[in-house]
Chain A
Amino acid sequence: MKTSAVFSALVSLLSLASAASSDSNSKSKSSSTSTFTPPQVFKNANLVHVVSVEKNYVKENINVLVENIDKAAQDEYFLPFTADQMSRLGGVEVKDRKDSSAGLFVAEVVEFDQESDIQYLRIRLPKALAPGAQQTLGISYYLLKAYKPLPASIKQEELQYLTYSFSAYLPSAYTTTKQKTEVKFPSGTIPDYTKLPGSGDIQEFPLKQGSKLTYGPFGEKPAGAIEPVTVRFEFNKPVTHVSLLERDIEVSHWGGNVAFEERYTLHHRGANLSSLFNRVKWQQATYYQPTTFALKEMKFPLRVGSEDPYYTDVIGNVSTSRFRSNKREALLEIKPRYPVFGGWKYPFTIGWNSDAKNFLRKTVSGGFVLNVPFLEGPKQPEGVEYEQVQVRVVLPEGAENVKYHTSIPTQSITEGGVEIHRTFLDTIGRTALVIKARNLVDDFRDRELVITYDYPLMAALRKPLIVFGSAVAVFVAAWAVGNLELKFDARKK
């Protein structure tokens, strides 16, 4: 702690000096509130920023060629975000574009200064970059709750438009020599977007090609330069937002069964209704206007072999669901009780069972390996975003030595630990592994969660022995009580 504080103080001094010497002509604003700026040891030689607003969350890809301009080898690359963005940021994955065998780099949130609005993501390069050397980084991440509907409330039969604001220059901690930003849209209908003066032979940015806008290429920009732009595009699909997904996976060795239950708190973040819901129009619209921004149906492709699904909400079973199961697929199609419009909410629960042999394996050393998907949400063409995800894997009573590994980006995982869950006929309670994650999207469905644990034979026999023992105890007690003579006048023979 101490060293880092000293370090940050030093760095802030440096940054003040560099800010003073930087080009004051630039119209870009550099954040002055920040007391920490990463050491200027890198330069972004070339940068392509791809913003995808095709789904109801934003996916951003940054492909950047970084060059070490310091005299020493460097292994920490910083990426700045505002505090607001940071709270909505998830699924960060960094890799080497040129060398896919290098695997994913470690990317973690580093909050150097509580008071600063700018916070940094620190990317650790696996091998320190020698002075003057270059490396191509591919950084991808997701931003949730990114859009605002405009107009904010529309009629039931109108089209929904969303806006997204971002910076045409990537806000980088380093000087960027050359960059461009591409924006991908779900359709070519983009009624409004910010126009910027062009450079070189291009008159005006952006360039529009089909459902794509391109800002840039831009020339050299200093660290922290931003250029706010806003795009408004047609998105006549539900903006599905799951504020909390609780996913319970219960493993039963005796039953040979793995039970899944998922509780969704689902919101629609799109445009609200300007006049209240009208059933007549809704019924008419189902005939001649099939697309709507209301959420009508969700499809859950479950693992093959899933069975006995249920779909309930707080007042009971919801009858509007269909389950198709055969050798190739197990598709659960559910309809909310009512069409979910913008600003509406619909919490529900689904669950199903599956044979344990689909997920559970015994290792040679006697332990068990459970391999389940971390996330199995609905698969919707417009995507689904999850703000909070809590996965709880309930292992049998007496399971120990629990270890887990997941291919979900580590930046999204906030907590993971083992706790005790008490339920049917437990004496010491079952071992439950609880993993909390945040800001995930449906791109990560089917990422796996691998859990290894030991389950000794005595633990497996505990339950039947205890049930048997207590039954015997009850009979003995009944017999003992029955033998007591309670009456005052003992019968004389």
Chain B
Amino acid sequence: MSADPLQVLASAGKGESTRGLLRVIILLLIAAAAIASRLFSVIRFESIIHEFDPWFNFRATKYLVANGFYNFWDWFDDRTWHPLGRVTGGTLYPGLMVTSGIIYHALRALTIPVDIRNICVLLAPACSGLTAVATYLLTNEMTPSPSAGLLAALFMGIAPGYISRSVAGSYDNEAIAIFLLVFTFYLWIKALKQGSMLWGALCALFYGYMVASWGGYAFITCLLPLHAFVLICMGRYSTRLYVSYTTWYALGTLASMQIPFVGFLPVKTSEHMPALGIFGFLQLLAFLDYVRAAMPSRQFQTFLWMFAGGTFGLSLLGLVLATSAGVIAPWGGRFYSLWDTSYAKIHIPIIASVSEHQPTAWPAFFFDLNMLIWLFPVGVYLCFQELADEHVFIVVYAVFGSYFAGVMVRLMLTLTPVVCVAAAIAVSTLLDTYLRAKLPKPEEIQAAEASEGKKGAKSGLKSTSKPVVGVYAIWGKSMMVSALAVYLLIFVLHCTWVTSNAYSSPSVVLASRLPDGSQHIIDDYREAYQWLRQNTREDAKIMSWWDYGYQIGGMADRPTLVDNNTWNNTHIATVGKAMSSSEEVSYPIMRQHEVDYVLVVFGGLLGYSGDDINKFLWMVRIAEGIWPEEISERSFFTPRGEYRVDGEATEAMKNSLMYKMSYYNYNNLFPPGKAMDRMRNSLLPEVGPTLSTLDEAFTSENWIIRIYKVKDLDNLGRDHTSAAAFDRGHKKAKKASKKRGPRRLRVD
């Protein structure tokens, strides 16, 4: 071999195996980039679990690792939802925890003992690397161009819409679910294309994994039947479809029923009915197919109509009967809110109170997807051009996903994969068209023109013909390509910027800047949680609004009344009632629930917007939903309809436990009459609220967390109001002494 090294270099990338190697290397680099771009928060802060739900998942994972799988499966958690408890093992999706547990034990077996926290923190970035690979595979099924797959992998790797749920530390179900979603779709396309039972079974397997991991599996459960249905409607029923669908449905449903939380839902609830319906429909079609082959066509026509009508009528009747009899549950509340965005606001305030269940604002699409959002329709259009079975899938997914992303912010996540795939098809088509260096030879053009002429003559429709259009001008090519390159670069910049600024805050730790530019960390949450953990009784019950339930369970390790698993609306309303009522009403509620400490979040000193006074109206609304005659939202607004906390606040507001706990002692920080709520920019009344049934137990450095201890019953049997008044040095009201009448000598 005496080849010139330059020649070798030039010939590299030509051979099939070199290309394969290059593709693998590029894919690996993309996966690495996907992981690296999610590490902002670890580098900026520390390896910490973020936000709210991940704290529960983390706690559950620790339980799993410490107690083994079977104990985890049967876990009854008496440290949440006091005094009800929660059958945690049966009411969670175990996929995430089990995945971390398996990784943990596998690494142990390889004698690499990694802390379970680090595994949990880094699971989401690691899965995003896999998602990029899965997207590559899925896109490769759509188009012969290999560049589309790589582009899709790249887009998926850094699209903020996905990063928002998968930064390091965001240890939530979505972390692995999106990988499973994309990979299940890939396997489905593979199964459908080949009509293979093997791929169908694999698809079912990953579908089962998905069910074990995320409630969003219903998206697959609805999308695959829809795809099948559209294909049937297009007259594309085939044995391939029959084999792949029935394999997936039968095995997948069985797999999904193994999860205790899902159980018999797949055959009982309306969300799962489309999948069952299409399954039955496919059997009918297969039967008809068979009958048609065995019958003369005229008889078949009558048979078909009778049969179809009869089956439809029967099944509809059966469905209505089953639903009214309660065998099949009607649609759940969250599902209704998918059809009618104002449904939740009216009927289920608890769902509406979560910000991620709000409808998506238009700028969010651009924020989360940047240029992909305008490339997306192009990609879908290109799919229409080919419209094989797999392209129908993309089209159906695009329509379905766009609708849901528009309805609920968090469902942007399910839209992102199809946007990436479609946009990658669009970009790769553009690049393939404009980057072709070879000029077509004149005879080819002539041949093409000739064939065009022939075709044109045949069909007579210009649009159906496929003229060979090429761009030959160098400047045109370079303009287009460089514009695209600029767009791609801007996309990368945008993604990095969004990830760094919007999605990388742990929200447990707040960062601020000191005047000299150095980072100052506001760590009030952990200060207070650590205080609770170390200096209260092991079984001290903490009452707080449900947002903080998981964090208290995870960081402070104390029992809570309500938490982010909002399964019991009445219990949450009880806490809402205790918070929004006056002390006389709240105290018996707290005593009945054995509350030892009450925790509130107060942002007035720091100007922190996520505090309880800002969430207070939701507590009022939820409480009002259960006790409309005791709590009324209107009474928290001034006559002019303002929500105020200053001197003009309504009586209900001023007397509410939440208001008192937030502002208790706060005015002592300021010179008289200057107490200022920096969050709401209002001057507080000169005399602060008084508390008689609670004692201030702890306030964090920046006053974000305030913890109150519930007083025990008074030693002398007085009610707390008079006892507190006595302690403050007030004389007893004269009325009381008058009632007693003149003093009399006791005679025994």
Give the B-binding residues of A (Cβ under 8 A).
275-280, 283, 313-320, 337-338, 343-347, 422-427
Contact = CB atoms under 8 A, between A and B. Distances in A.
Interface of B: 45-48, 111-113, 509, 521, 523, 526-527, 529-531, 533-535, 555, 665, 668-669, 695-701, 703, 709
A277 B526 contact: no
B48 A277 contact: no
B695 A275 contact: yes
Contacts of A313: 530
B113 A344 contact: no
A338 B533 contact: no
Q: DSSP class of B's interface residues: helix, strand, loop or mixed?
A: mixed
Given A317-B45, A318-B526, A343-B535, 7 more contacts: A280-B668, A315-B530, A315-B555, A316-B48, A338-B700, A344-B534, A424-B112
Contact of B697 (A276, A317, A422, A423): A276
A347 B112 contact: no
Given A280-B665, A319-B521, A314 B531 contact: no
B697 A345 contact: no
Given A315-B529, A424-B112, A276 B534 contact: no
B534 A345 contact: yes
Contacts of B709: 276
Nearest to A347: B534
Shortest beta-carbon contacts, A-B, top 10: A279-B699, A319-B521, A317-B46, A337-B527, A276-B697, A345-B534, A280-B668, A315-B555, A344-B535, A337-B530
Nearest to A313: B530
A337 B523 contact: yes
B669 A283 contact: yes
A185 B696 CA distance: 36
A382 to B, nearest CB: 21
A424 B526 CA distance: 30
B698 A345 contact: no
Given A276-B709, A345-B535, A426 B111 contact: yes
Q: DSSP class of A's interface residues: helix, strand, loop or mixed?
A: loop
B696 A276 contact: yes
A276 B695 contact: yes
Contacts of B111: 422-427
Contacts of B509: 319
Contacts of B523: 318-320, 337
A396 to B, nearest CB: 15
B550 to A, nearest CB: 13
A280 B669 contact: yes
A346 B695 contact: no
20 contacts: A278-B665, A279-B700, A280-B669, A283-B669, A315-B530, A319-B509, A319-B521, A337-B526, A337-B527, A337-B530, A338-B530, A338-B698, A345-B534, A345-B535, A422-B111, A422-B113, A423-B111, A424-B111, A424-B112, A425-B111
A283 B665 CA distance: 12
B48 A317 contact: yes
A346 B555 contact: no
Contacts of B701: 279
A316 B525 CA distance: 12
A276 B698 contact: yes
Contacts of A276: 695-698, 709
A319 B534 CA distance: 18
A31 to B, nearest CB: 40
A316 B521 CA distance: 13
B555 A277 contact: no
A425 B696 contact: no
Interface centre among A319, A320, A425 (most CB of B within 10 A): A319
Contacts of A343: 535
Given A280-B665, A319-B523, A423 B113 contact: yes
Contacts of B46: 316-317
A313 B555 CA distance: 11
Contacts of A279: 665, 696, 698-701, 703
Contacts of B527: 337-338
Contacts of A320: 523
Contacts of B533: 314-315
A169 to B, nearest CB: 41
A347 B697 CA distance: 20
A320 B700 CA distance: 14
B472 to A, nearest CB: 43
B660 to A, nearest CB: 16
Contacts of B113: 422-424
A315 B45 CA distance: 13
A315 B528 CA distance: 11
A315 B697 CA distance: 21
A92 B196 CA distance: 81
B117 to A, nearest CB: 8
A277 B699 contact: yes
B552 to A, nearest CB: 11
Contacts of B696: 276-279
A422 B531 CA distance: 34
B530 to A, nearest CB: 5
Nearest to A278: B696
Interface centre among B111, B530, B555 (most CB of A within 10 A): B530
B374 to A, nearest CB: 42
Interface centre among B47, B534, B696, B701 (most CB of A within 10 A): B534
B483 to A, nearest CB: 45
B41 to A, nearest CB: 12
Contacts of B695: 275-276
A279 to B, nearest CB: 4
Contacts of A315: 526, 529-530, 533, 555
Nearest to A276: B697
A423 B110 CA distance: 10
A425 B114 CA distance: 11
Contacts of B665: 278-280
B57 to A, nearest CB: 16
A314 B112 contact: no
Nearest to B511: A319
A279 B703 CA distance: 8
Contacts of A427: 111
A314 B535 CA distance: 14
A344 B536 CA distance: 9
Contacts of A280: 665, 668-669
A313 B529 CA distance: 12
A236 to B, nearest CB: 21
A313 B523 CA distance: 13
Contacts of A425: 111-112
Interface centre among B531, B533, B697 (most CB of A within 10 A): B531
Contacts of B699: 277-279
Contacts of A344: 534-535
A123 B663 CA distance: 64
A404 to B, nearest CB: 26
A430 B530 CA distance: 34
A426 B698 CA distance: 46
Contacts of B530: 313-315, 337-338, 346
B256 to A, nearest CB: 29
Contacts of A318: 523, 526
A277 B697 contact: yes
A21 to B, nearest CB: 56
A142 B745 CA distance: 63
B562 to A, nearest CB: 21
Contacts of A424: 111-113
B115 to A, nearest CB: 11
A345 B523 CA distance: 19
